[in-house]
């Protein structure tokens, strides 16, 4: 493995990543993520700290029945306890019981931590490091030694910091990983220190583990590789304690595409966006739109001048081809849009604007007018799609609202009850229905679906996945203009729609109607219905 790749990737999402706020995985979820990382070709996967909690012990038991094809699984822990023989240390025994081929242990580098936190002598700390590594090597393990707080320790007491890593090296550690545990080292400092350390730790045996407290974890990791280190540790999406760890997604893309350091196959690189979203989904953390390389906004263009240039040559405003990392180019439409944006979106939607530029200009004017009223089409491409199709005659309203009524009642300490009735017309037919819900919007949604199912049964395949209310301008207090954004999905895609009004129910109604109409538009169901009833 070490001869095949320019840089080794060590993933610690399942251990260090779970120390991030609101990040928690079950043992089964950890196994699913580990399997996906293995499929991608990640070289090392740190599964957890078996000496710290039963869940990690169970993960390693599950992992024994799911052998990895490409990755080497690592168990993580600390050096032996003070004044304890390594063979008698329960922490080291727990590591060995996992049966993993790799064991990663951390030891204290900074003398402040040795004397004030661990509260042992400097000599005992050196012995703890040496004894632990030597014992694990005697048990046939590949040992990765994480030099915790290395850069802070080296700045304060370089001689002692050197002694700690030499203790691990003389005991036989396979890799020495320098950790910027507090995340406060800047790239120029880190590079200079690595050049000094390379005088006593060979670069092919050196790794980097950076935290993001200074916002430079990725930069530090890339700087370390530039200096020649062999291994980079980090987490998917940068999950981790405080401000997070170095984001392996961004690191791997930069290594492979910018620095020409092979760390993955080209095919694996095309799955980075999918992997990022997969881990976010399991963590129940919304994907970050602005995440470099793989975020939904990473190759999104909004300004008309930008779009005009991108249509001629994407390299004008894109640093790589988005397909290389599994992403895609997007053109947004807003009050900053020009006719280039509209023409691009129309082509994307399969709508023919013709040779007459007046149509695209008319659409731009309508969008700018609506955005001035509070609409936000770059966040609601479902509504944008409908607007373009309606303006060009490519979509005809599949139903019309005659009326709706919403009632909310509450008795004593009972939960409030919401009821909605609705009357719609489809062609020459009318439908009147009523439904209940756990709130007025839910009741209205249920009533609309109930009314339309007779005409368009396929809407049963769609459901709402997110509902957001935003104040457009707050000076009017509870009478302020609000916008409602709804995300809906079916088996094929997720789409967003928007409604704006001073009345939150009316705004929600417009967003709900757009959501259903988008579904009918993309399935072309409205045309089929009209044909069948003519």
Q: What is the pLDDT of residue 148?
A: 97
- Shared domain for 22 and 98, answered yes or no, is yes
- Give the domain range for residue 163: 8-264
Give the tokens for residue 103. 């064991």
Q: Is residue 271 part of a domain?
A: no
The residues near 361 (Cβ < 8 Å, ≥ 6 apart) are 339
Helix (H, G, I), strand (E, B) or coil at 393: coil
Q: Which of 530, 365, 520 is nearest to 452 (CA)?
A: 520
Q: Is residue 277 part of a domain?
A: no
249 vs 284: CA distance, rounded Å: 18
- Shared domain for 75 and 32, answered yes or no, is yes
- Shared domain for 432 and 318, answered yes or no, is no
452 vs 432: CA distance, rounded Å: 10
- Shared domain for 49 and 170, answered yes or no, is yes
532 vs 117: CA distance, rounded Å: 78
- Shared domain for 312 and 431, answered yes or no, is no
Q: Is residue 66 part of a domain?
A: yes
Report CA Rg, the chain: 29
β-pair partners for 482: 471, 501
CATH number, domain with residue 499 = 3.30.160.270
Confidence of residue 379 (pLDDT cuts 50, 70, 90): confident
pLDDT of 528 strictly over 60: no
- Shared domain for 254 and 320, answered yes or no, is no
Look at residues 315, 342, 367 and tell me which one is the last residue of a structural domain: 367
Q: Is residue 285 part of a domain?
A: no
For residue range 233-264, list pLDDT tens digits in order: 999 999 999 999 999 999 999 999 999 999 99
- Shared domain for 26 and 163, answered yes or no, is yes
Look at residues 318, 351, 367 and tell me which one is the last residue of a structural domain: 367
H/E element holding 470? strand 463-471
Q: What is the pLDDT of residue 355?
A: 66
The residues near 341 (Cβ < 8 Å, ≥ 6 apart) are 301, 302, 304, 307, 331, 332, 333, 364
Report the range out of 148-157, 407-416, 444-453 with the highest average pLDDT.
148-157
Q: What is the pLDDT of residue 9?
A: 98
Q: What is the pLDDT of residue 2?
A: 45
Q: What is the pLDDT of residue 252?
A: 98
For residue range 46-87, list pLDDT tens digits in order: 999 997 889 999 999 999 998 899 999 999 999 999 999 999
Q: What is the pLDDT of residue 433?
A: 94
Contact 66, 60 (CB under 8 A): no
- Within 117-260, strands assigned E span 142-148, 175-180, 206-210, 231-234
- Shared domain for 221 and 74, answered yes or no, is yes
Contact 64, 32 (CB under 8 A): no
Q: What is the pLDDT of residue 526?
A: 42
Q: Is residue 275 part of a domain?
A: no
Tally of structural domains, the chain: 3
pLDDT of 1 strictly over 60: no
Q: How far is CA 357 from CA 225, 239, 354, 383, in A?
A: 52, 48, 8, 22
- Shared domain for 344 and 414, answered yes or no, is no
Q: What is the pLDDT of residue 352?
A: 73
Look at residues 236, 264, 292 and tell me which one is the last residue of a structural domain: 264
H/E element holding 533? helix 525-533
Q: What is the pLDDT of residue 377?
A: 77
The residues near 84 (Cβ < 8 Å, ≥ 6 apart) are none
- Shared domain for 121 and 192, answered yes or no, is yes
408 vs 490: CA distance, rounded Å: 30
417 vs 409: CA distance, rounded Å: 5
Q: Is residue 391 part of a domain?
A: no
N- to C-terminal Cα distance for the chain? 68
Q: What is the pLDDT of residue 144?
A: 98
Confidence of residue 339 (pLDDT cuts 50, 70, 90): low
470 vs 486: CA distance, rounded Å: 11
Give the tokens for residue 109. 């580098």
Confidence of residue 529 (pLDDT cuts 50, 70, 90): very low
Give the tokens for residue 229. 């280190």
- Shared domain for 35 and 170, answered yes or no, is yes
The residues near 99 (Cβ < 8 Å, ≥ 6 apart) are 60, 64
488 vs 380: CA distance, rounded Å: 11
Do the bridges between strand 482-489 and strand 463-471 make them parallel or antiparallel, or are there none, so unpaired? Answer: antiparallel
Q: Is residue 179 part of a domain?
A: yes
CATH number, domain with residue 211 = 3.20.20.70
User: Backbone phi, then psi, for 399, in 5-degree steps?
Assistant: -155, 160
The residues near 189 (Cβ < 8 Å, ≥ 6 apart) are 151, 155
H/E element holding 347? helix 339-349
Burial of 285 (0-12, 13-18, 19+ CB in 10 A): middle
508 vs 441: CA distance, rounded Å: 7
195-225 CB burial, b ≥16 within 10 A, e <16: eebeeebeeebbbbbbbbbbebbbbbbbbbb
Q: Is residue 154 part of a domain?
A: yes
Give the tokens for residue 320. 């790589």
Q: What is the pLDDT of residue 52?
A: 83
Confidence of residue 294 (pLDDT cuts 50, 70, 90): very high
Q: Looking at residues 81-108, what average pLDDT do you find? A: 97
Q: What is the pLDDT of residue 349?
A: 67
376 vs 384: CA distance, rounded Å: 9
- Shared domain for 237 and 99, answered yes or no, is yes
Q: Looking at residues 153-173, what average pLDDT do you find? A: 98
């Amino acid at each position: 493995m070490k001869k095949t790749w320019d840089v080794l990737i060590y993933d610690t999402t399942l251990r260090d990543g779970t120390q991030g706020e609101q990040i928690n995985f079950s043992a089964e979820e950890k196994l699913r993520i580990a399997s996906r990382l293995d499929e991608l070709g990640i070289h090392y996967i740190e599964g957890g700290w078996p000496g710290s909690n039963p869940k990690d012990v169970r993960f390693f038991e599950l992992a024994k029945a799911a052998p990895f094809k490409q990755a080497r699984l690592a168990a993580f822990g600390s050096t032996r306890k003070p004044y304890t023989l390594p063979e008698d240390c329960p922490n080291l025994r727990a590591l060995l019981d996992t049966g993993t081929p790799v064991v990663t242990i951390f030891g204290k580098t900074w003398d402040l931590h040795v004397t004030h936190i661990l509260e042992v002598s400097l000599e005992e700390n050196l012995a703890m490091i040496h004894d632990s590594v030597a014992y694990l090597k005697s048990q046939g393990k590949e040992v990765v030694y994480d030099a915790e707080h290395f850069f802070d320790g080296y700045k304060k007491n370089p001689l002692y910091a050197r002694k700690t890593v030499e203790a691990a090296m003389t005991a036989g550690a396979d890799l020495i990983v320098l950790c910027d545990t507090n995340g406060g080292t800047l790239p120029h400092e880190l590079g200079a220190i690595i050049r000094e350390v390379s005088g006593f730790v060979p670069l092919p045996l050196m790794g980097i583990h950076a935290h993001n407290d200074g916002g430079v974890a990725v930069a530090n990791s890339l700087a370390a590789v530039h200096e020649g280190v062999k291994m980079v540790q980090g987490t998917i999406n940068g999950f981790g304690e405080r401000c997070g760890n170095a984001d392996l997604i961004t690191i791997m893309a930069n290594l492979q595409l910018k620095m020409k350091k092979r760390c993955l196959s080209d095919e694996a690189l095309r799955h980075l966006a999918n992997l990022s979203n997969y881990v976010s989904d399991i963590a129940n953390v919304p994907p970050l739109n602005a995440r470099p390389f793989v975020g939904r906004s990473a190759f999104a263009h909004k300004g008309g001048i930008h779009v005009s240039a991108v249509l001629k040559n994407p390299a004008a405003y894109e640093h790589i081809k988005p397909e290389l990392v599994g992403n895609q180019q997007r053109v947004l439409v807003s009050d900053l849009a020009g006719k280039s944006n509209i023409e691009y979106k129309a082509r994307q939607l399969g709508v023919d604007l013709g040779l007459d530029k007046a149509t695209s200009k008319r659409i731009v004017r309508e969008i700018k007018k609506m955005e001035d009223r509070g609409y936000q089409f770059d966040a609601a491409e479902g509504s944008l799609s409908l607007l373009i199709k309606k303006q060009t005659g490519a979509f005809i309203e599949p139903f019309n609202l005659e009326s709706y009524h919403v009632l909310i009642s509450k008795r004593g300490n009972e939960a409030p009850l919401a009821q909605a009735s609705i009357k719609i017309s489809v062609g020459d037919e009318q439908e009147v229905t009523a439904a209940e819900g756990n709130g007025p919007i839910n009741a209205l949604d249920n009533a609309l679906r109930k009314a339309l199912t007779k005409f368009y049964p396929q809407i049963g395949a769609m459901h709402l996945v997110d509902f957001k209310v935003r104040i457009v301008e707050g000076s009017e207090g509870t009478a302020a203009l609000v916008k409602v954004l709804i995300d809906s999905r079916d088996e094929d895609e997720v789409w967003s729609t928007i409604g704006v009004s001073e009345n939150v129910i009316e705004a929600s109604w417009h967003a709900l109607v757009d959501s259903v109409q988008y579904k009918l538009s993309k399935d072309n169901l409205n045309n089929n219905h009209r044909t069948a009833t003519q």
